[in-house]
Structure 1
């Protein structure tokens, strides 16, 4: 079997597939609204309470529900056809944000509604990725998921800065109202712009089917090792982001210089995804281990306390390495039973978000006792060892 021409694996080829433009447009507009809402809600909570802790809980409440929604409710992504499920998720999220607009709503209620949207998010992500396996031919699936990741990084790269400007211009309440509109627009794009795909179908109730899915995923060695690999690489490479402000202060730079570290990582990720889509599938697979090492080795260099500019370049290299996912995605498709794809991608997304949150929190705790550059470098060493062990298992099994 010959590999498809390189030109046939790019983003434009994916966007020419019927219904896919609507899928990615919906992802883009909902991501814009989500990032803007996180900024708006953080500022709104701080304005009402004056508490940095409660303001920080906004981001925590955005991460924490992934663990719960991605495990107990993962089977929902396999039980129902993707299009109506995605529309329902968007409308429920829009409803939660709309309730936040009630004047003087207590802060605990705001955080509770944010937790609800966090429970919905991994189900949406799992169902969307599973639907891509039906809408795209197998050789284009990695490119489709790559485009989702690139859109997310571009949105994060620009969204937090623009969100802060927008809050200053129109206020947090109007920015939350924008999020309601973006979720509604996403629902319309999916409902009227994408083709219907059948549900694989699962037996038993939701919790039982979710437990069955977890058992399958973690007792099937090929699938388990691939999942762990997609969690481990971003978990360790996220540590410099978590310590960016502390590291900037250690170098004597202003706290605002930490933005260069966030920008470097996100820009590198987008560049890596773009270049990766231009490579033949066999080339991506050969580059799996080098790309994995690229995600971790730059952190080791922090032992020398590079300047903020040099650190941003190192994190750009680390971001580029995450194109390894384009080699892993075809392996996941080949290893997993199609009946479990919704649960697989839901658990993958929720696990990745959860472990990143945990490692960032742990790095922050360690960074209060150990210099930030040494904490980052130690995480890099652990990351190298971990991804090499998992990569060896993945390569030998494939």
Structure 2
């Protein structure tokens, strides 16, 4: 049995090629977050429109659905290392085009949409390469490390990005993002082992739709993926209402940052702690962690002060570590030939459902008091997540790898 020490992040980084993958992820993630800040400010400076500036974030996430559904098979049809390098270079090219002086705002947003289409393909190929290169026990720890890096980057990136824009300007920060993508491509290209491609049955779109059909017609796989979508969808509701809730408590608007920070910090802490446990312990913690991800929102019925609310969201964020037990179940339930498509669709669906959840929370919050909206999402989320978890954790023969669809 894997010991706690051998199952930690150090064991993942000791596997050949892993350091390059995670350093590349850190570099490109930092550049991406900084570029979102830079582009938002650049668009606002050119247009003076808060709406167009806000569309930068919308265009960053909206294309995930398109890339995940139509192009997911790219992650399986070609060697993962080649897909990752090409995705990085295409992203660098799109950002570089944004540096053209006088480029219309519509063109800037269009280029951002293209990078959003590329992102889920990159994420799917990277997850598939981790599944190929890491031992089964270390795969969930590897994905946990990716999530932890992402949260730390988001936690610091927006603040540092704003400082960097003030220091060097948005154009130079975009140029820096081009460099980060190029550096990521270099690290992956020279530092990661080769992984073989899967079979090419038809064309890219047909293979993508076949993978989608395989995912949604395999009962156990479908239920597991749904669980990884629904839990964060409900726990993301406070993000959409952070500013409104802060105003409701009478605190200054800047205090809303404590709510975002609390959730992200809790997520990182949860990933770090759970990664130290053995696979059997992680499995036993699935339901407690799922409950932890939802129940704190119910406490918003009491309209806690911002400091207490931030602690509640930190507990909720820590519950997100339930994925460390679900990831190996997904891997065991899936045909290896569909791994790239599976992880691409999982990433795309997660981004899409979180964006929708935050948007709906904002809409409902205009008619219902923010604290009640958050509390109701906690009650509903706890109920639905536990019902799905009951199905997902059943020991049935459907957990075995099924035959491929025609």
Aligned equivalents of 1:242, 1:17: Cα separation in 2: 39
Written as runs of structure 1 = structure 2, the 5 A alignment for 1:164-179 is 164-179=162-177
Match of 1:48 in 2: 46
2: distance between equivalents of 1:210 and 1:59? 26
Q: Tell me, yes or no, if the aligned pair for 1:266 and 1:319 is still in contact at 8 Å.
A: yes
Displacement of 1:386 = 1.2
Q: Distance in 1 between matches of 2:297 and 2:70?
A: 34
2:236 matched residue in structure 1: 238
**Is residue 222–residue 397 contact of structure 1 (8 Å, CA) maintained in 2?**
no
Aligned partners of 1:183, 1:389: CA distance in 2, in Å? Answer: 41
Following TM superposition, by how much is the alpha carbon of 1:242 offset from its aligned partner in structure 2, in angstroms?
A: 1.1
Give the corresponding residue for 1:265. Answer: 263
Match of 1:293 in 2: 291
Mapped pair 1:302 → 2:300 = yes
Aligned position for 2:10: 12
**Alpha-carbon separation, structure 2, partners of 1:299 and 1:260:** 15
Query: 1:258-306: CA deviations, max 9, x gaps?
Result: 1100110000000000001111111100110110011010111111100
Unaligned runs of 5+ in 1: none
Aligned to 2:118: 120
- CA RMSD in angstroms comes to 0.6
Q: CA deviation at 1:397?
A: 3.6
**1: CA distance, partners of 2:146 / 2:199:** 25
How far 1:201 moved relative to its partner? 2.0
Equivalent in the alignment of 2:273: 275
Given candidates 68, 81, 93, the residue that maps to 1:95 is 93
Distance in 1, Cα, partners of 2:260 & 2:22: 24
Q: How does 1:26-37 map to 2 (within 5 A)?
A: 26-37=24-35
In the alignment, the residues of structure 1 paired with residue 291 and residue 342 of structure 2 have an alpha-carbon distance, to the nearest angstrom, of 25
Mean CA deviation greater in 280-289 or 194-203: 194-203
Residues 183-222 of structure 1: pairs in structure 2 closer than 5 A: 183-222=181-220
User: 1:138 aligns to what SS in structure 2?
Assistant: coil
1:382 shift after superposition: 1.3
CA distance in 2, matches of 1:125, 1:200: 17
1:38 to 36, 39, 62: 36
Aligned with 2:73 (options 67, 72, 75): 75
**How much has 1:390 moved relative to structure 2?**
0.6
Are the counterparts in 2 of residues 202 and 339 from structure 1 also a CA contact under 8 Å? Answer: no
Could you tell me how far apart the structure 2 residues matched to 1:187 and 1:397 are?
41
Give the structure 1 partner of residue 343 of structure 2: 345
Q: Distance in 1 between matches of 2:358 and 2:200?
A: 35
1:391 counterpart residue number: 389
Contact 1:17 1:136 in 2 (8 A): yes
Q: TM-score if structure 1 supplies the norm length?
A: 0.99
Deviations 1:338-360 (A, max 9, x none): 00000000000000000000010
> Separation in 1 of the partners of 2:276 and 2:130?
19
For residues 199 and 273 of structure 2, the distance between their equivalents in structure 1, rounded to whole angstroms, comes to 36
| 1:110 corresponds to | 108
Where does the alignment leave 5 or more consecutive residues of structure 2 unmatched? 397-406
In the superposition, the TM-score normalised over structure 2's length comes to 0.97
CA distance in structure 1 between the aligned counterparts of 2:87 and 2:148, rounded to whole angstroms: 22
Conserved 8 A contact 1:81-1:196: yes
Find the aligned partners of 2:245 and 2:32 in 1 and give their Cα distance: 28
> What are the superposed Cα offsets for residues 123-154 of structure 1, whole Å, 9 maximum, x if unpaired?
00000000001110001000000000000000
Matched with 1:330 is 328
Do 1:30 and 1:182's aligned partners in 2 also have CA atoms closer than 8 Å?
A: yes
Residue of 132, 136, 139 corresponding to 1:138: 136
CA 1:176–1:224 in 2, change beyond 3 Å: closer, same or farther? same
> Deviation per CA, 1:75-95, whole angstroms, max 9, x where unpaired?
110000000110000000000
State the aligned residue count. 396
Deviation at 1:239, TM superposition (A): 0.7
Residues 285 and 327, structure 1, Cα contact 8 Å, conserved in 2: yes
